[in-house]
């Protein structure tokens, strides 16, 4: 008879890692297995730096898969909170399940683990309160809200080192880590989770193996959002209509963003521009950073951005994202996002498209020659000059352009014609998986944490959701 685990976790992103870490602290008797389709963190290398173009790594993109999930190549900006805030404005909805005060405590605890494993003790965005308040006032006049919260910046290369230490720690503390293994299916009998069906990612025709566990935790991140949609349909796991965030990665000079970069490191602006009133927000700002690309399911190439602690460019990049909801008769946000991405990828011959803001206003595409002579030199070398307005959708495009105009009144130069828009930047979340306050789905013994099921949207909350999951499952 095969051994049975107390807890099986699908995925090895921050949600899963912090779940396992906390379990080693509170209940060493629990047998825990983490299963990941990608590689160990030390074997994750994105070839784009050498090749200058995305090689569409098989079987999985190193940026999105492997130990530490999307966290490995992330900029590692850990979003904390202000003590006086009575709500959480970024990072997700953990507080809706565990309450505001408990979420603050969880974040403090999780932050300390990051510090123990080598995170920088310096916090960004805690000084310059007066200057930040001035910018806040200016933003308010334009109908924009500026969220300023302290940020701990790991930096891409430091994030790698930190997660390697966590990988070693988990193995030293008897957590089983199974790499390059795809969880194909869940084993569910009479409405109760019993385990998972896996196969090796190394061979296409590998045999399916069954692994049994008392509890199964889904922590598949955005990379697994599509897989999770299929699981929910197949096993009747309850979901609610979700959201898809569609937009662009915007690149402009550090000079223009100097005040925001200095005072806050990352300025999180939220608006609801006319005429649609859709929520438009800036996200993942990277001072002196680099635009990057990543490959998702069905070979979709998406744009993202990050910055290093030591290596610097002279550009700042940030995402401008529009949240789209769909209810009736169409309720498939992931499907919609995928179609937008597919069209954009086709226009870019499989690559990310880039266009100058001024060209959009002039109603023309951007040409290679123009990009070569552009004041803002693109940091993503594989991006192809073209016309994103062919595929981004009128509503999304109108929202973004109006938002940029409003931002220009807060940050002079934000609407400079030589600024660059890369697309598609899309944040896929599964349809929101319905979970209770113990993160249990409508299937007994099946839990969902992190970004994949729609509970969180960033490193800190995904990690904190893992800590809480361990406390729930480790308490008996």
Ligand X SMILES: Cc1cc2nc3c(=O)[nH]c(=O)nc-3n(C[C@H](O)[C@H](O)[C@H](O)COP(=O)(O)OP(=O)(O)OC[C@H]3O[C@@H](n4cnc5c(N)ncnc54)[C@H](O)[C@@H]3O)c2cc1C
Which chain residues interact with ligand X by CB under 6 A?
10-16, 35-38, 63-66, 69-71, 73-77, 79, 182-183, 219-224, 227, 284, 292, 294, 304, 306, 450-452, 457-460, 462
Rounded to the nearest 5°, which phi and psi values hold at 332? -120, 80
Q: What span, in angstroms and rounded, lies between the C-alpha atoms of 196 and 211?
A: 5
Residue whose CB is less far from ligand X, 12 or 357: 12
The residue whose two tokens read 């979003």 is 79
Shortest spacing between CB 474 and ligand X, in angstroms: 18
Residue whose CB is less far from ligand X, 92 or 273: 92
Shortest spacing between CB 143 and ligand X, in angstroms: 26
Q: What span, in angstroms and rounded, lies between the C-alpha atoms of 163 and 41?
A: 7
Shortest spacing between CB 440 and ligand X, in angstroms: 17
Shortest spacing between CB 35 and ligand X, in angstroms: 5
Residue whose CB is less far from ligand X, 73 or 88: 73
Residue whose CB is less far from ligand X, 354 or 459: 459
Shortest spacing between CB 327 and ligand X, in angstroms: 25
Task: Note whether 72 and 42 are within 8 A (CB).
Answer: no
Q: What span, in angstroms and rounded, lies between the C-alpha atoms of 306 and 309?
A: 10
CA 194, 200, 203, 209 dihedral sign is: negative
Shortest spacing between CB 259 and ligand X, in angstroms: 20
Residue whose CB is less far from ligand X, 307 or 402: 307
Name which of 180, 426, 405, 227 is nearest 321 in CA terms: 426
Which position's Cβ is nearest ligand X? 221
Q: What span, in angstroms and rounded, lies between the C-alpha atoms of 458 and 163?
A: 16
Residue whose CB is less far from ligand X, 348 or 458: 458
Rounded to the nearest 5°, which phi and psi values hold at 282? -90, 150
User: What tokens does 470 get?
Assistant: 């361990």
3-state secondary structure 169-212: HHHHCCCEEECCEEEEEEEEECCEEEEEEEEECCCCCCCCEEEE
User: What tokens does 211 get?
Assistant: 């692994």
Shortest spacing between CB 196 and ligand X, in angstroms: 8
* DSSP H helical ranges for 37-84: 48-51
Residue whose CB is less far from ligand X, 365 or 427: 427
């Amino acid at each position: 008879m095969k051994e049975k685990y107390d807890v099986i976790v699908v995925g090895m992103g921050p949600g899963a890692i912090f779940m396992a870490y906390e379990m080693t602290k509170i209940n060493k008797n629990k047998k825990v297995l983490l299963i990941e389709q990608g590689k160990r963190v030390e074997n994750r290398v994105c070839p784009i730096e050498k090749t200058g173009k995305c090689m569409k790594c098989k079987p999985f993109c190193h940026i999105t898969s492997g130990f530490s999930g999307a966290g490995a190549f992330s900029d590692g900006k850990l979003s904390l909170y202000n003590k006086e805030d009575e709500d959480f404005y970024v990072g997700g909805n953990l507080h809706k399940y565990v309450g505001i005060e408990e979420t603050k405590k969880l974040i403090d605890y999780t932050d300390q683990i990051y510090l123990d494993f080598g995170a920088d003790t310096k916090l960004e965005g805690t000084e310059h309160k007066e200057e930040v308040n001035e910018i806040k006032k200016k933003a308010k006049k334009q109908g924009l809200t500026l969220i300023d919260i302290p940020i701990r910046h790991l930096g891409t290369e430091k994030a790698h080192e930190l997660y390697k230490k966590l990988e070693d720690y988990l193995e030293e503390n008897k957590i089983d880590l199974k790499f390059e293994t795809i969880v194909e299916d869940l084993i569910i009998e009479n409405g109760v989770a019993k385990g998972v069906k896996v196969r090796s990612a190394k061979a296409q025709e590998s045999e399916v193996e069954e692994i049994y566990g008392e509890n199964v935790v889904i922590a598949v991140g955005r990379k697994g959002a599509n897989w999770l949609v299929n699981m929910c349909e197949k096993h009747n796991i309850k979901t609610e209509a979700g959201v898809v965030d569609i937009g662009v990665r915007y690149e402009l000079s550090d000079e223009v963003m100097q005040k925001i970069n200095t005072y806050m490191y990352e300025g999180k602006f939220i608006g609801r521009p006319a005429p649609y009133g859709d929520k438009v927000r800036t996200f993942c700002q990277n001072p002196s950073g680099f635009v990057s690309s990543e490959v998702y399911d069905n070979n979709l190439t998406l744009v993202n951005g990050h910055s290093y602690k030591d290596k610097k460019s002279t550009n700042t990049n940030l995402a401008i994202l529009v949240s789209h909801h769909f209810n009736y008769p169409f309720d498939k946000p992931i499907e919609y996002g995928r179609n937008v991405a597919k069209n954009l990828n086709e226009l870019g011959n499989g690559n990310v498209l880039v266009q100058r803001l001024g060209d959009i206003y002039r109603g023309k595409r951007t040409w290679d020659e123009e990009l070569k002579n552009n004041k803002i030199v693109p940091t993503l070398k594989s991006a192809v000059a073209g016309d994103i307005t062919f595929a981004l959708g009128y509503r999304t495009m109108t929202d973004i352009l109006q938002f940029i105009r409003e931002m220009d009144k807060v940050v002079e130069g934000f609407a400079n014609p030589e600024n660059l828009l890369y697309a598609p930047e899309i944040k896929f979340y599964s349809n929101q998986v319905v979970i209770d306050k113990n993160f249990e789905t409508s299937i007994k013994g099946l839990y969902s944490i992190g970004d994949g099921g729609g509970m969180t949207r960033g490193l800190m909350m995904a990690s904190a959701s893992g800590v809480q999951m361990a406390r729930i499952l480790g308490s008996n």
